Amino acid sequence: MLSFGLTIIRHGETVYNKDGLLQGQSIDSPLSETGMRQAEAAGQYLKDVKFTNVFVSDMNRAKQTAEIILKNNRTCCGISMDINPALKERSFGIAEGGRMEDMRTMAKAAGQSMLEFTPPEGETMEQVKLRIGQFLKDMFRRILDDHRGKAQPDSGAAAPDADELPEGDPDDGVQNIPAHALVVGHGAYMRVAVRYFVEDLHCSLPQGSDMTHVFSACPNTGMCRFIVTLSCSEENHPLSAIRCVFINRKDHLNCVER
């Protein structure tokens, strides 16, 4: 068995985020000044947390955020970013560039929630899940290739269940974990991913978790962390267990002025 930490972070704010406009895939905007400060704050918060692998969306706002986080980190000197298009934001089709409120109106007219609604030419939830599944497959293979020597003998035991909500320290859950992957991506993608982890992969949650919070939108540079356990004897389907440490943490944003 090989257990590793998985910390997923949304990119920092862009002007489109600030103005309530949809970016999706066709708009590749950079971070705003606030977004740069958010990324710096996230980097300072995580400065002593060790990452062994870094996976990043191929969109500018995610790459900028990852670069700033790594620049601040004291353990990541020389680590390279694995740029993966499977982490790209969900496509919102013809709604991209328009107001978030307009898409909300479209979804309401269709009798659907914002998360479930697919604008014309956009990606469905199921299509995004397929991309998430492909990314996980690639990541699991990379983690096993890079860290197989740190594995413990497979015993058939799953990762321990989550206990109470963590204290709020930057290294919660990963103090004694041999590998730790940082993933920098996007808000809508992360909402689908968390739902996929919980509903499809049966991710365990800390006791007392508020499901409204679990499935809510992650703020810019908000963080989610999981502990993933892989079976080294199952090359095609190595996932043995996954548990959540925290969802949508934003402690580091208290010091960021807008």
- Assess contact for 6 and 183: CB atoms under 8 A: yes
- Does 90 count as an annotated binding residue? no
Active site residue 11: yes
Percent of the chain topping pLDDT 70: 94
Give the DSSP H/E element, type plus range, for residue 3.
Answer: strand 2-10
Active site residue 202: no
For all residues of the chain together, what is the average pLDDT? 92
- The domain that holds 55 is classified in CATH as 3.40.50.1240
- Assess contact for 88 and 57: CB atoms under 8 A: yes
Q: Using the predicted structure, report yes or no on whether residue 126 has a pLDDT greater than 50.
A: yes
Residue type, position 7, single letter: T
Average pLDDT over every residue of 213-220:
95
pLDDT at 257: 67
Could you tell me the pLDDT band of residue 234, with boundaries at 50, 70 and 90? confident
Domain extent, residue 75, equals 2-255
- Does 14 count as an annotated binding residue? yes
In this prediction the pTM is 0.94
- Who wins on pLDDT, 162 or 145? 145
Could you tell me the pLDDT band of residue 159, with boundaries at 50, 70 and 90? very low
- Give the total number of structural domains in the chain: 1
> Tens of pLDDT along 3-59?
999 999 999 999 999 999 999 999 999 999 999 999 999 999 999 999 999 999 999
- Does 12 count as an annotated binding residue? yes
- Assess contact for 5 and 54: CB atoms under 8 A: no
119: which residues sit within 8 A by CB, 6+ positions away?
A: 92, 93, 94, 95, 103, 106
Could you tell me the pLDDT band of residue 93, with boundaries at 50, 70 and 90? very high
Handedness of CA 203, 208, 209, 210 (dihedral sign): positive
- Does 15 count as an annotated binding residue? yes
- Does 256 count as an annotated binding residue? no
pLDDT at 154: 64
Catalytic residue among 33, 40, 67, 89: 89
